Structure 1
Amino acid sequence: MTPQQQKELSKHLSLVLRHRPEKYHLQLDSEGFVLLANLIAGMRTLGKWSRVTEEQVREVVRDSDKQRYEIVGEKIRARYGHSVAEAVSYEPIAPPEILYHGTARRVVDAIRAEGLRPMNRQYVHLSSEIEQARIVGARHDARPVILTVRAGEAHAQGVRFYNPEPRLYLADLVTPEFIDFGD
């Protein structure tokens, strides 16, 4: 597969595994997994992906720099970013002391009042790297605000954190008292 084909297949996997499993009549299990064979069979019902192979899907999972997907046994799932109703669960972990969240300037007042909430996703997304938070925030604002989350303190007070991939941390909710707004 060419890099462009890999990118297109990765985007399609994201659509199906994160947001629209019903597109192929798939039902995510309690951990967000579906049978890889069922996913491929569903994809083959559409013209563009009618010749997709298991090896091509495995190649995208293996070569993804962001490690968005994982295959365990005969099942596949998106690691994060779900907007489907079924909750995808992870084992809670102790986070680093500090994490970051990039966001649009227009929502900072709402975050001051309510904290960081999952919004249309299942979890709040946080980064261990300032630059990664800036990249994420820039999707919504050319000059994003980078919030500092005192994750170690939040965890000590009962906030659950998860780590589905090396630079990404997830939380159910981060209340304002654990967020530094830089002002």
Structure 2
Amino acid sequence: MNEQKNKKTSKFLSYVLRHHPELIGLNLDENGWADVDELIIKSKRDSYQGLTFEELDEIVETNDKKRFIFNEDKTRIRANQGHSIDINLALKPQQPPEFLYHGTAQSNIDSILEKGIEKRNRQHVHLSEDKETATKVGMRHGKPIILTIRTKEMFDNGIEFYLSDNNVWLTDFVDTKYISK
């Protein structure tokens, strides 16, 4: 699959598996898993050109952010995180490293420094283990700003963290007292 089609397919999968499965009449279970055969069939009914198993497999294997995962026998697929729909990823609380990073656009800084980092329409706030990843995230919406989050301190104060299958750290909210610019 060429790079342009790969990107278009990845965006389609993100939209359907994270936000709007009803767009193609796809059923997700309580943990966000979709039947691969159903996804392939229903993607062909949509104005989208349709997917093959080989294309799905390539997207799961080559997506630089590892947004998607198959179950062991590759009969089910889901997005690793970033859902705006109510699903249970069945993640277990874990102790984060001392610091994590949050990439955002310059235009969001005043609000973040006033209110903290909110999950908004997502299930969690997303944090990165390295500044490079946080920079890429922040660049999507303008000039990137990287915030350092004192996650060990948060954890010591009873705030839960989860680690997604693609190594994105998740939490419900980051209070301003834990944020450094």
| TM-score normalised by structure 1 residue count | 0.88
Q: Distance in 2 between matches of 1:6 and 1:106?
A: 30
Q: Decide whether the 8 Å contact of 2:30 with 2:87 is kept in 1.
A: yes
Counterpart of 2:125 in structure 1 is 124
Alpha-carbon distance change, 48 to 30 in structure 1, aligned in 2, over 3 angstroms: closer
Cα shift at 1:160: 1.6
Aligned AA for 1:100? Y
Counterpart of 1:71 in structure 2 is 70
Cα shift at 1:86: 3.5
User: Which of 31-40 and 163-172 deviates more?
Assistant: 163-172
Alpha-carbon distance change, 140 to 14 in structure 1, aligned in 2, over 3 angstroms: same
Counterpart of 2:148 in structure 1 is 148
Cα shift at 1:47: 4.7
Counterpart of 1:109 in structure 2 is 110
Q: Decide whether the 8 Å contact of 1:81 with 1:122 is kept in 2.
A: yes
Alpha-carbon distance change, 35 to 100 in structure 1, aligned in 2, over 3 angstroms: same
Cα shift at 1:70: 0.4
Q: Distance in 1 between matches of 2:172 and 2:140?
A: 22
Alignment of 1:31-50 (within 5 A): 31-50=31-50
Counterpart of 1:85 in structure 2 is 86
CA RMSD after TM alignment? 1.9
Q: Distance in 2 between matches of 1:48 and 1:27?
A: 18
Q: Distance in 2 between matches of 1:121 and 1:76?
A: 19
Q: Distance in 2 between matches of 1:30 and 1:9?
A: 24
Residue 159 of structure 2 corresponds to residue 159 of structure 1 = yes
Alpha-carbon distance change, 2 to 103 in structure 1, aligned in 2, over 3 angstroms: closer
Q: Distance in 2 between matches of 1:135 and 1:48?
A: 28
Moved over 6 A (4+): none
Q: Which runs of 5 or more structure 2 residues have no equivalent in the other structure? A: none
Alpha-carbon distance change, 48 to 113 in structure 1, aligned in 2, over 3 angstroms: closer
Partner of 1:97, secondary structure, is coil
How many residues are aligned here? 179
Counterpart of 1:17 in structure 2 is 17
Q: Decide whether the 8 Å contact of 1:93 with 1:161 is kept in 2.
A: yes
Cα shift at 1:105: 2.8
Report Cα offsets for 1:125-169 as digits up to 9, x if no partner. 111111221221122222x32111011111121222122245521
Counterpart of 1:59 in structure 2 is 58
Cα shift at 1:89: 4.0
Q: Which runs of 5 or more structure 1 residues have no equivalent in the other structure? A: none
